[in-house]
């Protein structure tokens, strides 16, 4: 009889402990769900609501936009690199080609006797706004500005490590079309700005007699 009472009391305490444990687990699960719901609540200015669908759409657009911009930049780069410049020293003009079509031509001043413009195939290696210039003989440096002998743009395509040759502007339009330079190709400032916008680093330049 005593043994039966001990077993009954033991069973009662086990049931009580199990119920208490179940209540504790249930309480913790409820609090955890509330905390998760609070942490996932949309943030922003008070009074404004946000839609999960809009947020997801915006994230998708943000992830795609850089790729679209990159493709547009590559397209522009390919379009620019498809251009080439042909310099004909005999008629003292520079011709800009896109594919096999001439899209522009400009009169140029060329190298004088003893300072002839080099012929051959080259690539544009240096481009600069408002360049300064160092005289190759006297070493005098002319600062950039409207009266600079290099004008408002420089497009270099040849160098021997000491001297540099390229297209550039000039404050004196009268010399354009004459053999007056130290090998460079002088252009009117308006023309060299236009050429500058039609080429890029790596654009092919062919100079022929």
Task: Please report the DSSP string for 110-138 in residue order.
Answer: EE-TTSPPPPEEEE--EEEES--EE-TTT
pLDDT for the residue 9: 55
pLDDT for the residue 24: 53
Catalytic residue among 26, 126, 168, 182: 168
Q: Domain residue spans in the chain?
A: 52-81, 83-208
Calpha distance 163→9 (Å, rounded): 107
Q: How far is CA 48 from CA 45, 57, 183, in A?
A: 6, 18, 67
Residue of 99, 130, 103, 100 whose CA lies nearest to 193: 130
Residue identified by tokens 């400009």 is: 106
pLDDT for the residue 14: 52
pTM above 0.85, yes or no: no
pLDDT for the residue 185: 98
pLDDT for the residue 7: 53
pLDDT for the residue 170: 95
Residues of the chain with pLDDT below 70 are: 1-81
pLDDT for the residue 56: 43
Do 179 and 111 touch, CB atoms closer than 8 A? yes
> Would you call 126 a catalytic residue per the annotation?
no
Q: What single DSSP character describes residue 71?
A: H
pLDDT for the residue 200: 96
CATH value of 83-208 in 1.25.40.10, 2.40.440.10, 3.40.50.300, 2.30.42.10: 2.40.440.10
3-state secondary structure (DSSP) of residue 32: helix
Do 172 and 154 touch, CB atoms closer than 8 A? no
> Would you call 168 a catalytic residue per the annotation?
yes
Catalytic residue among 26, 38, 126, 184: 184
pLDDT for the residue 40: 34
Classify burial at 166, counting beta carbons within 10 Å of its beta carbon; exposed 0-12, middle 13-18, buried 19 or more: buried
């Amino acid at each position: 009889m005593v043994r039966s009472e001990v077993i009954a009391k033991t069973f009662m305490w086990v049931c009580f402990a199990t119920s208490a444990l179940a209540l504790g687990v249930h309480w913790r699960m409820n609090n955890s769900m509330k905390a998760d719901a609070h942490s996932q609540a949309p943030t922003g200015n008070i009074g404004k609501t946000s839609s999960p669908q809009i947020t997801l759409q915006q994230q998708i657009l943000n992830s795609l936009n850089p790729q679209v911009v990159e493709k547009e930049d590559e397209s522009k780069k390919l379009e620019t690199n498809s251009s080439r410049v042909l310099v004909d020293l005999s008629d003292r003009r520079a011709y800009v080609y896109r594919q096999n079509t001439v899209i522009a031509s400009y009169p140029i001043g060329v190298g004088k006797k003893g300072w002839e413009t080099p012929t051959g195939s080259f690539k544009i290696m240096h481009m600069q706004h408002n360049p300064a210039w160092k005289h190759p003989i006297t070493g005098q440096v002319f600062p950039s500005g409207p009266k600079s002998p290099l004008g408002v743009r420089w497009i270099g395509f040849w160098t021997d490590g000491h001297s540099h040759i390229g297209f550039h502007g000039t404050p004196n339009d009268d010399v354009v079309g004459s053999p007056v330079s130290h090998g460079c190709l002088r252009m009117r400032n308006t023309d060299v700005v236009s050429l500058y916008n039609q080429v890029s680093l790596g654009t092919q330049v062919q100079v022929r007699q």
